[in-house]
Amino acid sequence: LFAGECDFFFAATTIEGLPPMGAPEIAFAGRSNVGKSSLLNALTNRKTLARTSHTPGRTQQLNFFALGGPPGQETLRLVDMPGYGYAAVSKQKIDSWTKLMHGYLRGRASLIRVFVLIDGRHGLKDTDAGMLKLLDTSAMSYQIVLTKRDEVKKADIEPRIEATLKALKPHPAAYPDVIFTSSETGEGIPELRAAVAQLLAE
């Protein structure tokens, strides 16, 4: 699936402007700059499919990518989302992104899994609580992915995973496993691909 074609095919800025439902969708959510777009590139083995940036607030739309066939015949869609928790954009923008993300995450029947990315150097933050709560109350299936593993000392990897699993205890809708990835080194990427393949097989 990930060795084949992957094409950007749609950018949505409003709920009314979402593409018609088709193949199952998997979305990547998380704080600004956590590495959502980078992870999408690592997953699909592309360097510049999704645009990344050092500056938070890079992704400003819901970007849809078709996998496993050309758009229209894809077997899976990957959805890159704008980040949350970024204060330096206008309130108007934050409001419109929030409306878009929340509307999408609550009401999309073809959305089969949300990967919530958490910076592996910092763990779960207060700003993540709102996202987890939204997914809990929407009964949306989600899994935590820790990012930037290459920036974390080896000795801190297991404790970070344990702490994250512990923080997920009050969130029964969260998948009870955490994947620790690096888009730089590729660590954890095979595990994430396996998780995606498993979802499609269900």
Residues in contact with ligand GTP by CB under 6 A are: 30, 32-38, 52-54, 56-59, 82-83, 147-148, 150-151, 182-184
- Count of residues in contact with Mg ion, rule CB under 5 A: 4
Which residues neighbour 176 within 8 Å (Cβ) at sequence distance 6 or greater?
165, 168
How buried is residue 57: exposed, middle or buried, by Cβ count under 10 Å (0-12/13-18/19+)? Answer: middle
- Partner from ligand GTP, Mg ion, none contacting 148, C-beta within 5 to 8 A by type: ligand GTP
For ligand GTP, the closer of residues 117 and 196 by Cβ is 117
Q: Which residue is nearest to ligand GTP (CB)?
A: 83
Minimal distance, residue 122 CB to ligand GTP, in Å: 13
Cα–Cα distance, 73 to 46 (Å, whole number): 20
Residues 118-157 that bind Mg ion (CB under 5 A): none
Q: Of the two residues 151 and 158, which places its CB atom closer to ligand GTP in the complex?
A: 151
- Smallest distance, Mg ion to C-beta of residue 38, A: 8
Of the two residues 22 and 85, which places its CB atom closer to ligand GTP in the complex?
85
Residue 44, binding choice from Mg ion, ligand GTP, none, Cβ under 5 to 8 Å by partner class: none
Q: Which is nearer to ligand GTP, 154 or 169 (CB)?
A: 154
Does residue 26 contact residue 35 with C-beta atoms inside 8 Å? no
The contacts of residue 26 (CB under 8 Å, 6+ apart) are: 76, 77, 78, 79, 111, 112, 113, 114, 115, 196, 199
Which residues inside 42-61 make contact with Mg ion, applying CB under 5 A? 58-59
| Angstrom distances, CA of residue 131 to CA of 22, 59, 112, 127, 182 | 25, 17, 16, 8, 22
Residue nearest Mg ion (C-beta atom): 59
